[in-house]
Chain A
Amino acid sequence: MSDLERQLRAFVREGDVPVPQVPDLAERVVAALRRHRRRRTAGLAAAACLAAGLGTAGAVLLGDRDATAPDPASARGCAGVNARAAGVQTAASADWARLLVVTLDGPTEGSCTVGPGTEVELDAGRHRATSTIPADIAPVVLGTGQRALVQLVWGSWCESAVPAVRVRLPDGATTGVDLPADTDLPSCDGTTRLRLVRIDPADVQSGR
């Protein structure tokens, strides 16, 4: 090893190299790491929602269309259906659509079919937006002690007020619940958009 190599080795390992002062580096790194984890979690949630939506769409497209018509006889108990809670899940980016989830508790007597024809309305007084469950969504029969999760994509909201959620069931019965005051509302991109994507079959008896 030559002198120069020895000097190089000594210098790169222990030589006087000026080191910049970055006093808040640890805080910055930890904060950036937290942001990264939040983004990743939100991204995974959005991907899961997308996958669930695609799965539902596929099941509906492949399913028996005749079986989706509601049974009027089973709609007798709809007056006892209660919208217990509604919440909004925020997606990865502030500009993205939100997922609005409404929990419906079954009636204390009889059963109620929640399916095509059911209307979900966001009501902020002056401003309203409605989505009707389309014919290609499979209905579910809601009995006593059962519940259904109605999920809608809320793409845009052109109103500052946090709305209440109203659900009009096929037999004309109505139920509703207020969204929490701190709900993260989607931004307005011109027109309010609300679109039902699925009725969660979890905890409920399928209408088919």
Chain B
Amino acid sequence: MDAEFADFVSAKQNGLLRYAMLLTGGDTHTAADLTQETFLRLGRRWRQVRDVEHQDAYARRTMTRLWWSRSKRDRRELLRSEPKERAVEDAEPAWTSGLWSALQQLPPRQRAVVVLRYYEDCSEREIARILGCRPGTVKSQASRAMASLRRLLGATGSAPGGAGGSVERSAHE
């Protein structure tokens, strides 16, 4: 079982690490931790997981749920302890590609909605189930995310190129 699972991890790790980078907005340490935790969850249920038809999608859903739980927990801890540190960290994205930079500056839930919607083609109802909120909230978060991205990219409908700017954090995030 270990050898088979190790092969699975080796084969899927790059894809999941990339997906984790999208979810975390480029936080390499969190992305690596999240990927490891996701594989651990899958490993504990390996007998079921190895028979799943769409393993990639299953793994990404698992990761998204884990990340969202972690994100809510971390946010509570940050709000209690050191809110300024987060603001500084978020103001300086590590990469400067226009769209990537803009995505990094979205609040976690808006970024999750964007990733689930455009990567996974999830419906609002599916996203709501994964994130544990109402479909109406997903709709409003998606709308805010798109507005923020347009503002950050400096144009409405033009090709993304410029980076920079900042986003006001939603009180709901």
Chain A residues in the interface with B (C-beta under 8 A): 2-5, 7-9, 11-13, 15-20, 22, 25-30, 32-34, 36
Contact = CB atoms under 8 A, between A and B. Distances in A.
Contacts of B13: 22, 25-26
Contact of A30 (B9, B18, B150): B9
Instruction: Please tell me the size bucket of the interface on B.
Output: 35 or more
Contacts of B10: 26
19 contacts: A3-B157, A4-B146, A7-B99, A7-B159, A15-B100, A17-B18, A18-B28, A19-B14, A19-B18, A25-B36, A26-B13, A29-B36, A29-B40, A29-B43, A30-B6, A32-B40, A33-B44, A34-B2, A36-B40
Contacts of A33: 2, 5, 40, 43-44
Nearest to B116: A12
Contacts, number: 95
B130 interface: no
B140 interface: no
B1 to A, nearest CB: 9
Contact of A20 (B21, B99, B119, B149): B21
A12 B18 CA distance: 9
Nearest to B42: A29
A34 B18 CA distance: 26
A4 B149 contact: yes
Contact of B153 (A4, A19, A27): A4
Among B32, B118, B150, B159, chain A packs the most CB atoms within 10 A around the CB of: B118
B130 to A, nearest CB: 16
Contacts of B32: 20, 22, 25
Interface in B114-144: 114-115, 118-119
A141 B95 CA distance: 78
Interface in B1-60: 2, 5-6, 9-10, 13-14, 17-18, 21-22, 26, 28, 31-32, 35-36, 39-40, 43-44
B160 interface: yes
A29 B1 CA distance: 13
A26 B40 contact: no
Contacts of A36: 40, 44
Contact of A19 (B21, B115, B146): B21
A86 B84 CA distance: 61
A16 B39 contact: no
B92 to A, nearest CB: 15
A11 B99 contact: yes
B97 interface: yes
A20 to B, nearest CB: 4
Contacts of A19: 14, 17-18, 21
A34 B3 CA distance: 12
A11 B115 CA distance: 10
Contacts of A32: 36, 40
B7 to A, nearest CB: 8
